Each structure stands twice: as structure tokens, then as C-alpha cells.
Amino acid sequence: MNFYIADMHFGHKNVIRYDNRPFDSVEEMDKAMITLWNETVGDNDVVYILGDFSWYKEEKTAFILGCLKGHKVLIKGNHDHISPKVARYFDRICEYAEIKDGEEKVVMSHYPMPFWNGQHRNSIHLYGHVHNSHQYNYCLSIEKELRQLQDIPMRMFNVGCMMTYMNYIPRTLNEILESKGGAEDGQK
């Protein structure tokens, strides 16, 4: 199985307030996200982490990665500083990736893109970076405007862990698509 998630920000105290995360401390957040991950992901599954995995320094980031099940692929975000010690926990590290998940072509980057490879052929774009913020709302307005201006599929989804349909859990593509319910404006 393939799973997707972004913007976990392990160890980042200020993100709790910024995202209005339901945790009282970094320790509680870290423990909950590790538990939820390991309850969901199997040892042979692949998790695509779309950036901003950890706020911690090398030792603690490596420790957390070692606690998490599955094969990990990192699509680098603006807060990912990967040392050789941390890099060994990833099967692959890249800035951008395209894969086939079942019958679907998936284009991934940390940053949202209003135009991506295969978009006219109904491919899916997964991204993070914008959290559930005014920047995310702006992405939704761009999606809506582009849908109205042209006949281009706009299947782009924010897989930030704080999104209600993600709920701090790596999700499969089917789960992401089902939770969004085909909503035209992506606001479900």
C-alpha cells in the first residue's frame, strides 16, 4: 500500500498553535503521530512524506524515523535539512516525484502547483506546505477560478497532517479521494 502525508513538524512547538492542533505539548503530539502512523502503516507499505517532517536536530529526527513502520520516501520541504544519518532512514529523497498508484498517476511536491504533469489526463497532484491557512484558502480560490476558466481537471489535494480528512494519519490515495467526496471546491 502507498500512503501520503505532509507537514508533520515533529518537535515544532509553535505549529501546535498555528494549526490549532489538538495537543497540549510537543511530546504529546509526537507520541500521538507515531502511534497513529504505526497503527496504520505496515512494515512493507510505502509512505510518501511530502515535506516538513521534523523540526528536531539530527539525533531526534533519526530516532523518530527509526520508530516508524514502512518504507519512507521524502519529497523535501522547506524545513527538511537532511544529514547523512537521517537520510539512511529514507528509501528515496527528492524534490518532486511522479508515481503510479493503482490506475492513478500521482504528482507530488511539497508546494502546491496550479498546473502539473498529466493534469489534462486527470492525474492527481498531492502537496503540503500551506497547512490549513489563508494560503490554503488562496489555493482553493485558484482551483475554483481555473475550473471556471478552462476545462482542466483540478484534482489537487493538500495532504497536510492537520487537515480534517488526514487527522494526523498517513492516508491512502483512495482514502484521500473518498474523504474529499469529489467536492468541486475541495473544501469538504
Count: domains in the chain: 1
* C-alpha cell of residue 148: 471556471
Asked whether residue 98 is domain-assigned, the answer is yes
pTM: 0.93
**pLDDT computed for residue 146 by the predictor:** 86
Neighbour-count burial for 82-93, b at 16+ CB within 10 Å, e otherwise: beeebeebbeeb
Asked whether residue 158 is domain-assigned, the answer is yes
Share of the chain above pLDDT 90, in %: 80
Kindly state the DSSP code that residue 157 receives in the 8-state scheme: E
Q: What is the pLDDT of residues 173-183, one digit of tens each?
A: 999 999 875 44
CATH code: domain of residue 84: 3.60.21.10
What does the chain come to in residues?
Answer: 188
Residue of 77, 62, 81, 92 lying closest to 2 (CA atoms) = 92
Domain boundaries, position 10: 2-177
**pLDDT computed for residue 182 by the predictor:** 43
Q: What is the pLDDT of residues 123-139, one digit of tens each?
A: 999 999 999 888 898 89
Q: In what order do the strands lie in the sheet with 156-158?
A: 96-101, 104-109, 124-127, 156-158
Residue of 100, 163, 136 lying closest to 179 (CA atoms) = 163
**pLDDT computed for residue 76 by the predictor:** 97
Asked whether residue 109 is domain-assigned, the answer is yes
Share of the chain above pLDDT 70, in %: 96
Asked whether residue 188 is domain-assigned, the answer is no
Is 67 within 8 Å of 126 (Cβ atoms)?
no
Asked whether residue 135 is domain-assigned, the answer is yes
Q: What is the pLDDT of residues 3-40, one digit of tens each?
A: 999 999 999 999 999 999 999 999 999 999 999 999 99
Q: What is the pLDDT of residues 139-152, one digit of tens each?
A: 989 888 888 888 77
Q: Which amino acid is at 132?
A: N
